[in-house]
Amino acid sequence: MTNKTPQAGNAPERLPLTSMDMTDALINQLRDAAPQIFSEGRVDFAKLQTALGEHIDSNPERYGLTWAGKRDAFRNVQVPSVATLRPQPEESVNWDSTENLIIEGDNLEVLKLLQKPYHAKVKMIYIDPPYNTGNEFIYPDNYREGLDEYLRYTGQLGEDGTATSTNKDTSGRYHSNWLNMMYPRLFLARNLLKEDGVIFVSIDDHEVHNLRLLMDEVFGEENFVGSFIWHKKLTGGYDNKNINSQHDYILTYARSIQNFDAVPEIKESNYKLIDEHGKKFKWDSLWNIGGLTYSASLDYPITAPDGSEIWPIGERGIAFWLWSRKKVESERSQLKFEKDKNGLWKVYKRVYASDGVVPGSMLDKEIVKGNTHSSAEMKNIFDGNKIFDYAKPTPLIKYLAARAMKQEDIVLDFFAGSGTTAHAVLDLNQEDGGNRRFILVQLPEKTDNPQYPTIAHITRERVRRVIAKLQENRHSSAGRNPVIQEAFDLNPLDSGLRRNDGDLGFRAFKLDSSNFKIWRSDQAPQSAEQLAEQLSLYADNVLAERGDQDRLYELILKCGMPLSARVEEIPLPISSSPSTGSGRTACSVSDGNLLICLEPHLDRDTLRALFARKPQMVLCLDTAFDGNDALKTNTVLEAQTHGIIFKTV
């Protein structure tokens, strides 16, 4: 499908109104890396096999994961989206200044739309997808008409397009349905990660085995970082008649394990000493305390201050030092020698807080908390009301974000639920002065609460309330007031009064059909008469019922600009042409790199005024030329002389 209609000569290039075509992107990469495998513009499979040589596996029996519907699920990745994201300033907080996003819509369509503007820009992804317990909502996927299926589900296209909302374990495709839902989403999500990015996926015993194999395929088994065990509840339950499950898993994969470098775990309270440079440290034993393999080269005596020899002491007779003899000799001044109560010499080395430690796979339940904490947290935020079940505790996501993100990074959560990820990022930024940003995506899954008719309503409202309380804290002369204390101080990672407000806001968007009539080859007319009728219909491709702000942000998105880009309205010169009128404007996006003019009529003076600003790209409505092909041709040529990309829509 495409929005392009036949063009000729020096007509301006038309901006594609679909999301990135994944197949085209892959072919372009192959053409750049191995042009010899192409023949007459197409991949010659025999040449590809020759180029790869022994790296081709022709054995039909190989290790891997397959299931019913896998091929169709992957084809779903290859179908570009024709949708858009419509701005909702009235649902947002601090629209003009924020870089955070909350998007309502089917996350598969949204992930496709984010491919251009956020490709390789996300540092961390955290998702808490449906666990496939048999009673959870499984997103409806129609491989041919994904957007139409979503619009029917949300009531925007007539009848509800979803017969059932759960994946019952009596279904013959119980596991396959879940894998078909997860596969394309994980594939698209991987493209958004930076080279040093990481993804965390919460899951339980129902699908952890399949998820591990699926992520091995999508991310590469060599990029498996590890699996955290989260202690979600202190007591047993009745979810299993044999073993009461008290934990979940958090599978962790890097985009590239060679580039992944987790932030070490630091417990500042353990580092009470200050060195001559003002750095926090503590003294730790120089000898092995168990867990390492014995090394004879590290088993030697160290000379004590009184001239005696100190031999290493270790558990179960495994005795050796942690430093080599050479390092001890060169850095002896950094060691501390001290006698214990029995008069035996002990040797200590400095361990700095900035060094940290590698986190253990068993998450400390006193730090990351469990379900009881998250239930209390939600009630505190919503004035004691039970609004949402099974939210993850904020300390858990804060812990992961502190390990994976630096202060300017972006986190994506496309199964956002109540918005815990946004809460964690906002809270973490207040503690350390960071400017981490979040992108949340949540389907408007229906609830039984008339105040919050969908989960997406809950997501936005929770984040609004979190922001309001943080702002209240900012204006409180006493630092934190009791309301803030109750709602947010359940977190043991907290480190005192908040030092910075950071980005306290979010822009809300909603998935919807395009603001333009898009030419779709899969719905092409079958006769010359039908073709003429369609061409007449698409002569003016702007949907009149949509506003300029809707169109503006669709074009920003389709141009590959982030949805958080700064937009400034600029006046256009008064024209002598009666058709153009006065009081006209254009929009400067991202400090003038992109100029978008949505005026219905253009003339030469207006276009020259846009070019005079020296943007990288100028984008206008094709219909604004009023059929003046000579003006179009001259505009294209003039843009080329200025080195400006000129496109129409």
Residue 151 lies in a domain: yes
Q: 295 and 246 in one domain?
A: no
Q: Are residues 464 and 572 in the same domain?
A: no
Domain limits for position 570? 547-648
With a pLDDT cut of 90, the percent of the chain lying above it is: 54
Indicate whether 383 and 445 sit together in one domain.
Answer: yes
Specify the pLDDT at position 318.
61
Q: Is residue 592 part of a domain?
A: yes
Confidence grade of residue 485 (pLDDT, cut at 50, 70, 90): very low
46 vs 355, residue with greater confidence: 46
Count of the separate structural domains present in the chain? 3
Continuous H helices in 236-350: 325-330
Query: Which CA distances in Å does 403 have to 197, 266, 491, 515?
Result: 12, 9, 16, 41
Quick check: is 409 in a domain?
A: yes
Residues in a beta bridge with 172: none
> 112 Cβ partners below 8 Å, 6+ apart?
19, 20, 80, 81, 83, 188
Q: Which pLDDT does position 582 carry in this prediction?
A: 64
pLDDT band, residue 307 (cuts 50/70/90)? very high
pLDDT value at 459 more than 80: yes
What is the model's pTM? 0.81
190-203 per-position pLDDT tens digit: 999 999 999 999 99
Name the residue with tokens 């992109």. Answer: 594
517 belongs to a structural domain: no
The CA distance from 115 to 509, in Å, is 16
Summarize pLDDT for 309-336 with one digit per residue, the tens: 998 875 545 678 888 899 999 999 999 9
Distance, first Cα to last Cα, the chain: 16
What CATH number has the domain bearing residue 226? 3.40.50.150
Q: What's the pLDDT tens digit per position in 572-592?
A: 987 656 555 567 899 999 999
Give the tens place of pLDDT for each residue, 116-148.
999 999 999 999 999 988 777 666 555 445 677
45 lies in a domain?
A: no
Weakest-pLDDT range from 160-169, 215-224, 313-322, 384-393: 160-169
Please check whether residue 643 lies inside any domain of the structure: yes
Most confident region among 265-279, 297-311, 526-540 by mean pLDDT: 297-311
Return d(Cα 604, Cα 415) in angstroms, integer.
48
Instruction: Indicate if 638 and 556 belong to the same structural domain.
Output: yes
Classified as helix, coil or strand, 280 is: strand
| Domain end (from 305, 324, 349) | 349
Q: Same domain, yes or no, for 236 and 313?
A: no
pLDDT in tens, 72-97: 888 888 889 999 999 999 999 999 99
Residue 295 has pLDDT above 80, yes or no: no
Residues forming a β-bridge with 200: 126, 252
- The answer to whether 649 touches 621, Cβ cutoff 8 Å, is yes
Residues 395 and 492 in one domain: yes
Check if the beta carbon of residue 426 is closer than 8 Å to that of residue 452: no
Element (H, E) at 585: strand 585-589
- What tokens were used for 622? 């094709």
pLDDT at 242 over 80: no
The per-residue pLDDT for 138 is: 63
**pLDDT above 50: residue 3:** no
In a domain, 479, yes or no: yes
Q: What is the DSSP letter of 548?
A: H
Specify the residue for token string 């970082």. Answer: 225
Q: Tell me the average pLDDT across 214-234.
A: 94
- Same domain, yes or no: 453 and 494: yes
| Bigger pLDDT: 22 vs 377 | 377
299 in any annotated domain: yes
Q: Both 129 and 235 in a single domain?
A: yes
Model pLDDT, residue 267? 62
For the ranges 239-253, 363-377, 505-519, 523-537, the lowest mean pLDDT is seen at 523-537
The per-residue pLDDT for 50 is 82
CB of 647 closer than 8 Å to CB of 15: yes
**Which of 281-290, 400-409, 505-514, 553-562 has the least mean pLDDT?**
281-290
Contact call for residues 268 and 283 (beta carbons, < 8 A): no
Residues 404 and 344 in one domain: no
Boundary of a domain, candidates 483, 509, 535: 509
Q: Name the E strands within 99-149.
A: 101-104, 122-127
C-alpha span between 336 and 324 (Å, rounded): 16
Q: What confidence tier does 618 reach under pLDDT thresholds 50, 70, 90?
A: very high
Average pLDDT over residues 191-218: 96
Write the pLDDT tens digit of every residue in 98-108: 999 999 999 99
446/561 same-domain check: no
- What pLDDT, on the 0 to 100 scale, is given for residue 39? 85
Q: Do 143 and 232 belong to one domain?
A: yes
- The answer on 326 and 344 residing in a single domain is yes
Task: Decide if pLDDT at 538 tops 70.
Answer: no
Q: What is the pLDDT of residue 490?
A: 45
**DSSP state string for 44-104:** -HHHHHHHHGGG----S-------TTHHHHHHHHHS---EEEEE-GGG-BSTTT---EEEE
